[in-house]
Amino acid sequence: MISEPELDGGSGFAGPGPLTETPPPPRPAGRRSPWLWALGGALAASVVWGAGLHTYEQRKDAGPDLGGYKPVGDLCAVADLPALEGALGKRSQSGGSPVLDEPALHVTHCMVTFGPVESGPTVGITYTLHKVTDPGPEFDARALSEGSIRTIDGLGERAFFNDHGEEGGLLRILDGQIEVDLDVSRQYVADADGTVETPDTDLSGVEVPLTQDALALLAALKK
């Protein structure tokens, strides 16, 4: 049997006793919990990482820096070659071949004859614009495998001349994402009985006017 509570002097229940524990101090105003700071830091890092990824994707999609070089439809119209014309005779004939223009590569050619069309010296020009890959390692491998070459300073990123003496020579140029080859040579013609006639033109020293025209050509390819 549950007994009745004991009354205090018949006046009711006994009052509460004195408090023996000190209540905790109030939390300072304006102070965040550590997990809120951690969450804010994580969000900030996520925003920065996302912005960096977006920038990287934009750069990746844009491809390599082409250094101002552009595809050309008619290389012969861009290559004036005044120095070679002064050394080898009036420019008498020129013509190009179909242009290769793909997402990764642009290649165009031009052939120019100086002096007599049938027997004058010629220069063959090839312009290659690499839109995706770095042509540097392959350029060096090809140039250095061609035997006796000479470095030409001040022409593009680097340039090599393969001297053929009185027969002419081949100038190879690398400038960033582009390669330009200029090949000067004699033109040999066979007569009616099959005898090959050797032209009298001596192309020794042709690298001097060739280099001058190559400098102008590099500038023209950026216009």
- Half-sphere exposure of residue 18: CA atoms within 13 angstroms, side-chain side: 1
Segments in the chain forming alpha helices (H): 34-62, 75-78, 82-88, 136-144, 207-220
Whether 51 has a pLDDT exceeding 60, the answer reads no
What's the pLDDT band for 156 if we cut at 50, 70, 90? Answer: very high
Average pLDDT, the chain: 80
Whole-prediction pTM value? 0.70
Is residue 196 a contact partner of residue 202, using CB atoms and an 8 Å limit? no
Q: What is the pLDDT of residue 200?
A: 77
Q: What is the per-residue pLDDT across 115-148, written as a single tens digit (0 to 9) for each?
A: 999 889 999 999 999 999 999 999 988 887 877 6
List the domain boundaries for the chain: 32-62, 75-220
Q: What is the pLDDT of residue 210?
A: 98
* Residue 123 neighbours by CB distance under 10 Å: 24
- Name residues whose C-beta falls within 8 Å of residue 5's C-beta, 6 or more positions apart in sequence: 13
- Please name the CATH architecture into which domain 75-220 falls: 3-Layer(aba) Sandwich (3.40)
Q: What is the per-residue pLDDT across 65-121, written as a single tens digit (0 to 9) for each?
A: 999 999 999 999 999 999 999 999 999 989 998 899 999 999 999 999 999 998 899
State the greatest distance between any 2 C-alpha atoms of the chain, in Å, as a whole number. 151
Whether 9 has a pLDDT exceeding 50, the answer reads no
What's the pLDDT band for 189 if we cut at 50, 70, 90? Answer: confident
Q: What is the pLDDT of residue 43?
A: 52
**For residues 178 and 133, what is the distance between their CA atoms, to the nearest angstrom?**
11
